[in-house]
Amino acid sequence: MKGLFVALACVALSEGLMRIPLQKTKSIREKMAENGAYLPFSDPALKYKPNKFLASTAIDPMSNYGDSSYYGSITIGTPPQTFQVLFDTGSANLWVDSVHCNTPACNAHTKFNHSRSSTYNSTVKTFYLPYGSGSLHGIFGYDTVNVGGIVVTEQMVGLSTNEPGRNFLVAQFDGILGLSYPSIAAGGATPVMDNMIQQGLLKQNMFAFYLSRNNQQGSEVAFGGMDNTKYQGQIHWTPVTSQTYWQISINGFLVNNKTTNWCIQGCQAIVDTGTSFLTCPQQYIGFLMQTIGAEAGQYGGYYVDCNANDLPTLSFNIDGVNFLLPPSAYIMNQNLGGYQYCMVAISSTYLPSQNGQPLWILGDTFLREYYSVYDRTNNQVGFAKSI
């Protein structure tokens, strides 16, 4: 049966496209800062190569989830238990908090109780996702997962058994639903998207994200097609260069429409809904902040004078098309203790790409401007101007 489902908590478009509304959290960094606590700014790339860097660093990649994250509801088990999950194109596993776990982070969230699910099948297979200081231990099981009315059976689900990290404690979601390629899934798990494809549940083997701006409602992830009410103009497609993350080529980086030489030998980018900021290769962050006129803040991060009116437009050339980021896209206004701050929603990463080219992460800073489509049939990513 292809693509015909009844939606419960979501809106069914014609022809089997399911849309799941997403909520945006108020910035946790902002909330904590109001109370005098400051999250460290860290390199989100740690989540990509956790094992390699674990021994030498305590940087916590999950803290970037704290800036803002977009999450939505799924259910697991029979009868269904509901969870808020981060839909993350930068990882491939599904995991949720579970009754196996009793740390403060787990106790602050909804926990999956496998004993209450008649369709649950257990395994003895454990997993460990070392997110720097916010590591996660768990055990795999299989159960039915309902994603916006799309019912996936025998889905491998990670159940947390130990979650010591501070950053999971402040997270608004109970788990993560990874949407990357199966090659990077821990424990050889078949990702949710791959099961949807194998079980013939989608009209088209694609999903797409609309991330709203300025805390507005309307964010959503669509499975099985694109939602043409969420973008304008045409979709520009570019091939996936490595079927691990949703990685693509960047052909140029421009400041005020003038090409820099940063990507003259080519750059790579990972398109990642689970990273809040745009992330710049470490060797260029100093130049970039100088160009913007930003200065490092006391607690990390970069800030500009809120009255500055000559901030540049940045752009990425992707397959011949320039995708512009005006200052309104990369400056975040924050009101902390009555003071107005203008933070640059760009950080740096030291992780190079597999081919040695400078690596960017197109996180939510970029994805609020551009509707993004992830096509597993043709292994390509599409971008169009968001509404």
Ligand X SMILES: *[C@@H]1O[C@H](CO)[C@@H](O)[C@H](O)[C@H]1NC(C)=O
Residue from 116, 123, 333, 379 binding ligand X (CB under 6 A): 116
Q: Report yes or no: 274 and 356 within 8 Å, Cβ to Cβ.
A: no
Q: 23 or 119: whose CB is closer to ligand X?
A: 119
Residue from 143, 220, 272, 364 binding ligand X (CB under 6 A): 143
Residue from 107, 122, 257, 333 binding ligand X (CB under 6 A): 257
Q: 57 or 322: whose CB is closer to ligand X?
A: 322
Q: Which of residues 277-316 bind ligand X (CB under 6 A)?
A: 313
Supply 157's token pair: 């689900």
Binding mask 223-252 for ligand X (x = CB under 6 A): ------------------------------
Q: 329 or 351: whose CB is closer to ligand X?
A: 329
Q: 56 or 115: whose CB is closer to ligand X?
A: 115
Catalytic residues: 88, 272
Could you say whether residue 260 binds ligand X (CB under 6 A)?
Answer: no
Which range binds ligand X by CB under 6 A, 17-25, 49-57, 86-94, 111-119? 111-119
Q: Which of residues 151-180 bind ligand X (CB under 6 A)?
A: 153-154
Provide the binding-site residues for ligand X, judged by CB under 6 A: 99, 113, 115-116, 119, 121, 142-144, 153-154, 256-257, 313, 322
